Amino acid sequence: MLAIGLCNNADVPDQTQEYRRPIALAVFLIVAGVIGWYSSFDLTLERIQTLINPAYKPTCDISPLVTCGPNMASWQGSLFHFPNPLIGVACFVAPIVVGVAILAGARFAKWFWVLFNLGFVLALVFVIWLISQSIFSLGTLCPYCMIVWSVVIPLFWYVTGYNLKEGHFGNRGASREIAALVFPWLWTLVLLSYLVVVVIAQLRLDAITSIINSL
């Protein structure tokens, strides 16, 4: 009876249906996670160097606009009273582990995918806040920060698209219909998200001209 109850649990993947591992998503999770983790780790090292030696100039300080020094030294750079990059060092491990697990044959329950997606929602909200603070308050563009932004955005869109396609949010038929319309165009949503950031930075900071002049 216990075995029957477990098999009928809606949160357990349906073993009777054909399951195809999302190999492309798994590879993307690993690659994006590694890029985000490395950028966060490198920025953490830069922050440590500035604490050890206040005269140290971070390698990411390229120009008055493209710089990470002011961001790291600001209160926005330590929102939770420790350097923000440590959040990335800890959290980017998650997509790497999930991607590797999928390639190894793991199959996760629906509730796991929903919580995994929620993590990217929170990450995107945090990134949007960081973008607004960087552009409107600090007037700078941190190179390592921008790399993190550039991986969080597609991670959010593609994990959300996958969950819609698999019906993990409930009402499987409706969500799959939405996914059928949206999933082929996720790359467009990613590019549009990038474009919004670029346009805002250009209008506020004249970023393109400043970057060209710094080259």
From CA 46, how far away is CA 94, in angstroms rounded? 23
Residues 194-203 have a mean pLDDT of 95
pLDDT in tens, 162-183: 998 888 887 677 777 777 778 8
pLDDT in tens, 68-123: 999 999 999 999 999 999 999 999 999 999 999 999 999 999 999 999 999 999 99
Query: What was the pLDDT predicted at 38?
Result: 97
**190 pLDDT exceeds 90?**
yes
Query: What was the pLDDT predicted at 6?
Result: 34
Structural domains of the chain, with CATH:
20-214 (1.20.1440)
Q: What is the pTM of this model?
A: 0.86
Within 10 angstroms of residue 185's Cβ, the number of other Cβ atoms is: 13
Whole-number Cα distances in Å, 75 to 61, 72, 162: 18, 8, 36
